[in-house]
Every structure is written in C-alpha cells, then in structure tokens.
Amino acid sequence: MSLKIDQDHSRFRNIVRGKIRQNLRRYISQGEMLGRKGKDLVSIPIPQIDIPRFTFGDKQKGGVGQGKGDAGDPVDGGEEEGEDGAGKAGKDAGDHVLEVDITLDELADILGEELQLPDIENKGKSRIIAAKDRYTGIRRVGPESLRHFKRTYKEALRRSIATGSYDPANPVIVPQKEDKRFRSWKEDHEPVANAVIIYMMDVSGSMGDEQKEIVRIESFWIDTWLRRQYQGLESRYIIHDAVAREVDRETFFRTRESGGTMISSAYRLCASLIDEHYPATEWNIYPFHFSDGDNWSMDDTLTCIELMKKEILPKVNMFAYGQVESPYGSGQFVKDLREHFNTDERVVTSEIRDRDAVVGSIKDFLGKGK
Amino acid sequence: MAQFATNTTLPRYLRDEQDKIEKIARAHGLDFFPVIFEMLSYDQMNEIAAYGGFPNRYPHWRYGMEYERLSKSYEYGLSKIYEMVINNNPSYAYLLEGNSLTDQKLVMCHVFGHVDFFKNNFTFRTTDLDAGEHIADPIRRADGYEPNRRWVDKMANHGSAVRRIVDRYGIAKVEEFIDVCLSLENLIDPWSRFVVRRRDSQPDEEPREVEVPRLRSKDYMEEFINPSEYIQEQKRKIEAERDRDKGKFPAQREQDVLLFLLENAPLERWERAILSIIRDEGYYFVPQMQTKIMNEGWASYWHSKMMTQDVCDWSEIVDYAENNAGVMATSGGRLNPYKLGVELYRNIEERWNKGQFGQEWEDCDDLDVKKNWDLRLGLGKQKVFEVRALYNDVTFIDEFLTPEFAMENKMFTFNWSNRNERFEIDTREFQAVKEKLLAQLTNFGNPFIFVEDANYENRGELLLQHDHRGVDLRSDYARETMSSLVRIWKRPVSLATQLEGKRALLRFDGKEHGVRHDAP
C-alpha cells in the first residue's frame, strides 16, 4: 500500500544520501539504536537530522533520574528512549536517540548507483540449501529442557488467580502439568554462501603502508558490493612475498614482510584453495590480487600465466588484478598480464595510482557484471 | 479527512467495549469530548504517528525521518505504538490492529483519561479555536462547554496551503524556508494567551511631568532631607532614561519572537504564510509539553483504576498487569513521566484522604505521628480532579513533590563528570532534586529569549537577549539559528548571552559569525 508519507520519506533518504540539500548533511547525527537479534545486540542505523535551535548545551545540563546508586555512580543507559510498552506518539519533548549512518546494504546501493554498476549475473550454479531449526512457537507438550519459564509461570499465575487460590500476602505459584508451555520449532531452509572472494596481497618490502591502505579501502568496497549481490559470501585472505600463506582478515591488512616477490606462490595457493573447498560447479569465485607489480623474475611471471590459464581461469567468474603504484616497483606485471590476456574477458586489470583512483578501479573491476 | 478515517470502522466487538468503558469512565466522574476510535495497521499507525497524530500535514522531510525511525524500531521489535490520541473535538484515538483485546481495552481506558485531561486542564484552553486572543480566566467555562478544537481540519488546511505554495515555488525552496522557520519554532511565549503582554500606549499623549519621589519632611527640614541639587539630578536621570526608551522598538521586550518577525520582518507573502503556520502549530503543541507528566500520569491513573476495578475479568488481569508493568518501568536511571505522574496523583489522593496537608501537618516533626496520620477526610478524589484542572507540570511538581515521595521513589540528580566522561549521580538531597526537575520543566526545557531591540545601534539590526539561568546555549546550534534569523530579518542579528560565566554578544551579519565578550 502506498502511503502519503512515502514522499516525505524518500526526500529524507535523498538528503541522507547527499543528493539534495547538501547544507543539511552536517546536521546528520551519530548515535545508535540497539536492537536484539536472538541473543546478540545489533545496532540499527537510523539517520537523524537535527534542526538547529537555540537550546542548552548538553553536558552542563544533567537532570533528574530515579533508581539505586550512590553519589558518584554512573547513570547508565542515559540516552535510551523508552522502549517498552505504550510509547505515546506525538510531539513529546525528550531526546531522540537516533542515529546515523546507513546500513551496508544501503551503502552498497549508493555505490552501485554512483558507479552505475550492473547487477551481477549469477553463474546459474545450483544453490546449496541448509536446513536450520528455529524456535518460533509455543506448544503444550514437550521435553522439560524446552520449557518456557515465563509462559509457564503466567499460565500458573492465571490459573491460581482464577481459582481463587492466589494469596497476595504469600504469592507462591506452583505450576501444574497443564500450565506448562514448551518452545516448539520449525525447520527453515536457508541458502548458504555460494560466492567466495579470495583476496591476495603482495606484502613484500616494496609495499608500504599507503599501498596497503589503498588495498584495504578497495577491498572493503568490493566486499560490500559483492555481499549485496550474494546472499552469503565468504572471504579468504592470502598474503605472499616469496612464499604464500593463508591468513585471517586482521593479519591480511596488518602484515608487513620484507623479502622478494614470487607471485606464482600466491596463485598456486589460490588454485589449491579452490580445488579443495570451492568446487566450481557450485561456487561463484572471485580472486582479487593486489601487488605493486614488481615480480621476482620473468620466469615466475610465465609460471603465473600458466597457472592462471590452466588452474584458475576455467573455474572462476573473473580474475581481478589491481596494481598499486609504489615508489619501488617497476610495475611490469600488469603489462605482462595485459599482453597475455588481451582478449580474455575473465581477466580484469586496473592500475591504482593513489586513493582517489580507488573509485575508478572499483568500476573497472565490477563494471562488467560478472 | 483522510480516506482511512471514513473507511475503517471499528469492529462491532470493540464498539461494544468502547460503550462499556465510556459508561464506566463517566461513572467515575471523567468528563470528555466525544471520542472516535480508529483501527490502524502498523504502517498506517507509524505514518500518522510520524505526522504527530494528524492524518494530514504539510509536506516535510522530518516526517519521513520520524516514519523511518518508527518503522525500523517496530520492525526490529524494539517498540511499537499502542495508542495515540489527538487533542481535537471530537478526539480521535487510534488502536493498533492485531493487539490483544486486553491491550485494546487498556488503551481505551488510557485514552479516556487523556481526553478528560484535554478538556479540563486549563493549559489546553489555548487550543480552543474560538477562545479569542486573550483568555482572561482559564478556569471559568460556559455551561455545556463545547469548544471548537477542529485541529485535524486546521492542520489539513495548513497542508493544502503549503502544497499550493510548493506548486508555485518548488519544493526545494519551500522546504528550505520551512527548515529556517522550524529552527526558530521554540521562540514563542507559552503564556501569552493568559497574560496581557503588550499595553496599549498612546503615542500622541504628551509625557507627564517627571515627579521625583521625595522623603517626607517638615518644611524647615526640606532643604536638608531633599536637597534640591539631588532632586534636580534625579530628575535629569529619569528624563534621560525616558528619552532613551522613547525611540525604542519594541517598546517592551517581546518573548514571542515569531510573532515579532511576522509583524515586522521583510517577508514575502508566501514566506509569511508559512511562518505563521509554523507558529500556530507550535502553539498547538505547547500545552502537551507543559503537562507531559500530569497528562500521562492522569491517563495511567485512570487506566489502572478502571482496568483493575471494572474492566478486566480474571482471565485478563495477568496480561494487563504485565503490560502495565512495561509501561511503568523505570530503567537505566531514567525518570518515566508515566510513573512519576501516576505515583504523584496517588500520593495526593492518599494525603488528602488522610488529611495530610495544611499547617498542622507541616508543623508536625514527629515521624511516627506523621506515619499514622489519618483524619479520614476522604477529600482525595475531589483533590485529584482539582489538580488535573488547575496545574501544569511545573506547579504540580512544585506543590506536590514531597521529601518523603522523592525518597520513596529513589530520585536523584545527575551531572556530567568531566573526569570520568560520563553522567554520574550527584545527590539525593530533596531541594536539589526538586530544583533540577523544575529547572528542566520551566519553559519546557527551552531557553528564554526575547527581542530586545529591532534597531540595534541605530542600524536596523536585531538584538535578542538570552536570559541566562545557569546553563549556556549550545554554541554551534546557536550560530546556525542566528543564520536562520538573518535569513528572515535580512539584516545582521545579535544575541546577548553568557558563555562560560562571561557576558558575550554573538553576532551574525550574513557572512561572518562573531563573538564579543565585553557585551552590554
């Protein structure tokens, strides 16, 4: 159903996205609204634009509260808006605790719009479905371990009030068999991850902090976009100098090695990862390799090209190579790749001169909708 | 009227409940406007709540923002709006589709409490559209009091007026101007309808001869007691003062900054129309802000009384109690206006039932005697009805918050600790708690700002005065608000205030912001 408010809402979204009324953007405030998803607290981003007024500075203000504690104890929660029960609407004064930012999905949408990225064509591989039990309902029979304490208590309380056995002076409630309530579940089918990004990065001596920062920024955006496109997405991280090893995300961006560069080591590891874990018939595979393009020898480069042709390219959606400019590198590798894969659509190369070039390079990589 | 309002009718079984509850409420002595209940789905509810309870408002992005907040917090299961009621005659109240019958009954009871409050509390007299410019005696009402409070229509009219303007000038331009107006929205004078602020002076009348007050003396002592040089000097002083004020505009300082701008700022016709709409709607919401604690407390007082005494049967009482506990919960050290209000009413009722008031009670020092004090006066009910008509939050707290109550409800003040970078409990001392609470409620948390001079330094600049009462203005917001003022006044604007204990004059000339610390 379409609502009148939709127009106001879309204008608001456009302000948040900076499409209109840029002067308002600086009032978009940061904050957090905490929600609960199962047992986890999740932060729900809700942008809030404050219209500036003559108002009091916050910190001088203080206030009046209610509850336990001695002088000097912290007041917790301070800002959260009433969350329970009958929230009264309307023009209540009262601090809004809203919040900022946009979800990653929305971020990805903006990226997509800005760069005019096409949606990715799924390779049409079969989706893997996993069954998962979800506890969603309540029933009257079940194992003790699934007893719902609060519901059971309520039933017992209700019964004892109705039968007149409830004594406010001595409010003991004894549940009987028919008071008991149990959680019940149903099976849910969820598609599991069917796309994987394999990030490879050259961490040899010639890759400096600035180069790594560029890789980090770029891989963040690639991650965000591909996550939007695929329901589940896995990422693997490989670093290499003369030898390659798989690491976790944290290490990937932090490590600094010295030593030489053998790109083939990374490609070999990549190929074996694919063989072991990601059968090409079921997975959309995206290797991304970042380097300053300064390989050890021409021989090794030829090994790389051989590996790509035989082992990697037949299995992947596309192979992306990003070359970060560094003061030490010769930048030869990208030229070699271009020479050998000139006509091969599966290989995408991009040169990233500095941070400003990241956007263009993302477009190079993702602009083909593969 | 919006479409849904005429299309959806309340299901039969809820109509029956409404009739039943209405009778019960009347029997308890509540006196309300007719109430029309509508059943809404959650997204309709969120839409109307985003519009501040009205089905039709002028277009503006902030309603969209509010809508997003409400829908997201509903979708993530954080909160939902159970009820909403608008101060209108007849009053419209909304029920959320899919709530349990017990919940719906609770909402209905709560709503009748609110509507009784709308009709009887004196602050709401300012929302009578037929009340005239000044309400000399807010307590006295004609028999069969049926004021015109068709705000639903008025807001809808505002909506179409703004839409017409938008059609002509474009949404971007109009919305930008609305933002400017909204940033000044709180610069109004909440009591202006009850007090005569502007005295009609007759400008043509010749000013009277200045008379210097003299001390009484015997003839022969006159020269000594009232020496003539001194009298002359005083006379010159008074005349000089009068001459200085003669050309002053406005003659008296003006708290209704919006009205002053409407009357005196060089605005285009459409701008004036919008500013006037913003001001009207600002005044509409004033009583609700002045009586937040009282209004919620009163409604909660009645829903709990009616639900437990008359409405619920035994199968419903547990569900009701659970829900009610949620509404009344205080968590994280925050003051819950529902809870504070309802407890205060109950406290008043008990005290007046037992005769715990008056000189004798005040003078009694014996805690034991006080604890068992019961004169069996039975005046409680009468008193709470009187209180709901004659008080607002400030006077309510001022008069009825007692040390015993504050202690029982574990009230404290908190302040920002620079050392630990967090809010910390300051004290539980009664005077401090009460002062802080009153300070927060006064002028519903807005600073006092007046138009002091519209021809400042004889250059047609606007000078505003901030009455500093211990708390500085938030400076970045103050600067932005100054730009809004310049946008409307079209000449430089200054604001006299205090920053960190020093007098300061903020000035914005349309290009640059300045602060001068040696201000007048």
The 10s digit of each residue's pLDDT in A191-222 is: 665 788 899 988 877 777 778 878 877 887 78
Half-sphere exposure (Cβ direction) of A107: Cα atoms closer than 13 Å: 15
Kindly state whether residues A251 and A215 are assigned to the same domain: yes
What digits encode the pLDDT tens for the residues B73-101? 777 666 777 788 999 999 999 998 888 89
8 Å CB contact of B445 and A56? yes
Question: Strand B448-456 to strand A129-139: parallel, antiparallel, or no bridges (unpaired)?
Answer: unpaired
Q: Which two tokens stand for residue B222?
A: 């006159």
Give the pLDDT of residue B392.
93
Nearest C-alpha neighbor of B495 from the set A56, A51, A54: A54
Q: A17-21, B29-33, B204-208, B249-253: lowest mean pLDDT where?
A: B204-208
User: What HEC string does B395-414 produce?
Assistant: HHHHHHCCHHHHHHCCEEEE
Minimum-distance CB partner of B318 among A10, A70, A154: A154
Residue A70 lies in a domain: no
Q: For residues A311 and A287, is the Cβ–Cβ distance under 8 A?
A: no
Total domain count for chain A? 3
Q: What is the DSSP string of B203-249?
A: TTSPPPPP--------GGGHHHHS-HHHHHHHHHHHHHHHHHHHT-S
8 Å CB contact of B426 and A71? yes
Minimum-distance CB partner of A91 among B52, B76, B175: B52
Q: Scan residues 107-136 of A and list those with Cβ closer than 8 Å to B.
A: none
Give the pLDDT of residue A91.
30
Kindly state whether residues A16 and A163 are assigned to the same domain: no
Q: Is B357 left (phi over 0), alpha (psi -120 to 50) or beta?
A: beta
Instruction: Determine the Cα–Cα distance for residues B56 and B445; give it in Å rounded to an integer.
Output: 28
Q: For residues B113 and B302, is the Cβ–Cβ distance under 8 A?
A: yes
User: Position B98: which residue type?
Assistant: G
8 Å CB contact of B477 and A88? no
What digits encode the pLDDT tens for the residues B120-176? 999 999 999 988 778 877 777 877 888 999 999 999 999 999 999 999 999 989 999
Name the residue in chain A with its Cα closest to that of B104. A86
Check CB contact of A231 with chain B, cutoff 8 Å: no
Nearest C-alpha of chain B: how many angstroms from A73? 5
Instruction: Determine the Cα–Cα distance for residues A362 and B13; give it in Å rounded to an integer.
Output: 60
Kindly state whether residues A222 and A340 are assigned to the same domain: yes
Place of tokens 């090209």: A305
8 Å CB contact of B336 and A10? no
Kindly state whether residues A232 and A352 are assigned to the same domain: yes
Please give the backbone phi and psi of residue B345, each rounded to the nearest 5 degrees, phi first. Answer: -60, -45
Instruction: Determine the Cα–Cα distance for residues B515 and B472; give it in Å rounded to an integer.
Output: 14
Instruction: Determine the Cα–Cα distance for residues B490 and B483; give it in Å rounded to an integer.
Output: 10
Residue B175: CB atoms within 10 Å: 23
Question: Strand A284-291 to strand A195-202: parallel, antiparallel, or no bridges (unpaired)?
Answer: parallel
8 Å CB contact of A57 and B288? no
Nearest C-alpha of chain A: how many angstroms from B20? 22
Residue A82 lies in a domain: no
Higher confidence at residue A178 or residue B199? A178
Q: Which two tokens stand for residue A275?
A: 């063989």
Minimum-distance CB partner of B296 among A53, A66, A88: A88
Give the pLDDT of residue B288.
92
Check CB contact of A73 with chain B, cutoff 8 Å: yes
3-state secondary structure of A119: coil
Contacts of B443 (CB under 8 A, 6+ apart): B190
Return the DSSP state at B156: H
Mutation for B interface: A64, A73, A80, most B CBs within 10 A: A64
- Chain B CB contacts of A84 below 8 Å: 79, 326-327, 329
CB contacts < 8 Å between A and B, how many?
A: 282
Kindly state whether residues A218 and A305 are assigned to the same domain: yes
Measured between alpha carbons, how far is residue B99 from residues A90, B41, B317, B319 in Å?
A: 20, 10, 16, 12
Place of tokens 């504070």: B340
Residue A87 lies in a domain: no
Check CB contact of A169 with chain B, cutoff 8 Å: no
Instruction: Determine the Cα–Cα distance for residues A226 and A233; give it in Å rounded to an integer.
Output: 8
Q: For residues B159 and B229, is the Cβ–Cβ distance under 8 A?
A: no
Residue A58: CB atoms within 10 Å: 12
8 Å CB contact of A74 and B423? yes
Residue A210 lies in a domain: yes
8 Å CB contact of A83 and B79? yes
Kindly state whether residues A317 and A330 are assigned to the same domain: yes
Span between the terminal Cα atoms of chain A, in Å: 35
Nearest C-alpha of chain A: how many angstroms from B201? 31
- Chain B CB contacts of A43 below 8 Å: none
Query: Which ipTM did the prediction report?
Result: 0.81
Q: Which of A140, A159, A190 is the last residue of a domain?
A: A190
Tens-digit pLDDT string for chain A (370 aa): 457 888 888 888 888 777 666 666 666 654 445 555 444 455 566 777 888 888 887 655 677 888 777 777 777 644 333 333 333 333 332 332 223 334 566 666 666 666 666 666 665 555 556 677 888 888 999 899 999 999 999 899 988 888 888 888 888 888 888 899 999 988 877 666 578 889 998 887 777 777 887 887 788 778 777 777 776 678 889 988 888 889 887 788 777 666 778 888 899 999 999 888 888 877 888 899 998 888 888 888 888 888 888 888 888 888 889 888 877 767 788 888 888 888 788 888 888 888 778 878 888 887 776 6
Instruction: Determine the Cα–Cα distance for residues B287 and B85; give it in Å rounded to an integer.
Output: 14
Q: Scan residues 35-54 of A and list those with Cβ closer than 8 Å to B.
A: 35-37, 42, 44, 46-54
User: pLDDT above 90 covers what percent of chain B?
Assistant: 49
Higher confidence at residue A58 or residue B222? B222
8 Å CB contact of B47 and A60? no
Kindly state whether residues A176 and A203 are assigned to the same domain: no
8 Å CB contact of A74 and B424? yes
Instruction: Please check the confidence at residue B210 and state whether its pLDDT lies above 80.
Output: no
Give the pLDDT of residue A367.
76
For CA atoms B38, B42, B47, B52, the dihedral sign is positive
Evaluate the omega torsion of the peptide bond into residue B90 and state whether it is cis, within 30 degrees of 0. Answer: yes
Confidence tier at B258 by pLDDT (50, 70, 90): very high
Nearest C-alpha of chain A: how many angstroms from B131? 23
DSSP alpha helices (H): ranges in A146-241? Answer: 149-162, 209-229
8 Å CB contact of A66 and B333? yes
Instruction: Determine the Cα–Cα distance for residues A132 and B201; give it in Å rounded to an integer.
Output: 81
Check CB contact of A314 with chain B, cutoff 8 Å: no
Kindly state whether residues A200 and A177 are assigned to the same domain: no
What digits encode the pLDDT tens for the residues B364-376? 888 888 888 888 8
3-state secondary structure of A152: helix
8 Å CB contact of A48 and B69? yes
- Chain A CB contacts of B111 below 8 Å: none
Residue A342 lies in a domain: yes
**DSSP-assigned beta bridge partners for residue A246:** A238
Provide the residue range defining the domain that includes A27. 1-51
Residue A23 lies in a domain: yes
Check CB contact of A26 with chain B, cutoff 8 Å: no
Contacts of B241 (CB under 8 A, 6+ apart): none
Residue A75 lies in a domain: no
8 Å CB contact of A54 and B473? yes
Give the pLDDT of residue A258.
67
8 Å CB contact of A12 and B62? yes
8 Å CB contact of A13 and B64? yes
Kindly state whether residues A181 and A262 are assigned to the same domain: no
Give the pLDDT of residue A35.
54
The widest CA-to-CA distance across chain A, in whole angstroms, is 92
Q: Which two tokens stand for residue B287?
A: 């009583």
Q: Which of A168, A190, A212 is the last residue of a domain?
A: A190
Helix (H) / strand (E) element for A35: namely: strand A33-37
Instruction: Determine the Cα–Cα distance for residues B517 and A92; give it in Å rounded to an integer.
Output: 36
Nearest C-alpha of chain A: how many angstroms from B466? 10
- Chain A CB contacts of B413 below 8 Å: 62-65
Nearest C-alpha of chain A: how many angstroms from B499? 11
Contacts of B501 (CB under 8 A, 6+ apart): none
Q: What is the pTM of this model?
A: 0.72
Mutation for B interface: A1, A5, A43, most B CBs within 10 A: A5
Kindly state whether residues A357 and A211 are assigned to the same domain: yes
What digits encode the pLDDT tens for the residues B232-241? 888 888 887 7
CATH number of the structural domain spanning residue A317: 3.40.50.410
Instruction: Determine the Cα–Cα distance for residues A48 and A96; give it in Å rounded to an integer.
Output: 9
Minimum-distance CB partner of B65 among A49, A59, A64: A49
Give the pLDDT of residue A51.
86
User: Position A365: which residue type?
Assistant: F
Instruction: Determine the Cα–Cα distance for residues A150 and A137; give it in Å rounded to an integer.
Output: 14
Residue A107 lies in a domain: no
Minimum-distance CB partner of A75 among B59, B73, B414: B414
Q: For residues A137 and A127, is the Cβ–Cβ distance under 8 A?
A: no
Kindly state whether residues A332 and A228 are assigned to the same domain: yes
Kindly state whether residues A173 and A267 are assigned to the same domain: no
Nearest C-alpha of chain A: how many angstroms from B4? 11
Instruction: Determine the Cα–Cα distance for residues B115 and B85; give it in Å rounded to an integer.
Output: 8
Packed helices B257-264 and B269-290: angle between N→C axes, nearest 10 degrees: 170
Instruction: Determine the Cα–Cα distance for residues B503 and A100; give it in Å rounded to an integer.
Output: 35
Q: Which two tokens stand for residue B283?
A: 């005044």
Average of per-residue pLDDT across B88-116: 92
Q: Scan residues 79-108 of A and list those with Cβ closer than 8 Å to B.
A: 80-93, 96, 98
Give the pLDDT of residue B32.
94
Instruction: Determine the Cα–Cα distance for residues A205 and A202; give it in Å rounded to an integer.
Output: 9
Name the residue in chain B with its Cα closest to that of A6. B64
Annotate A315-331 with b (16+ C-beta within 10 A) or e (fewer): bbbbbbbbbbbbeebee
Q: Which two tokens stand for residue B192?
A: 């202006």
8 Å CB contact of A76 and B333? yes
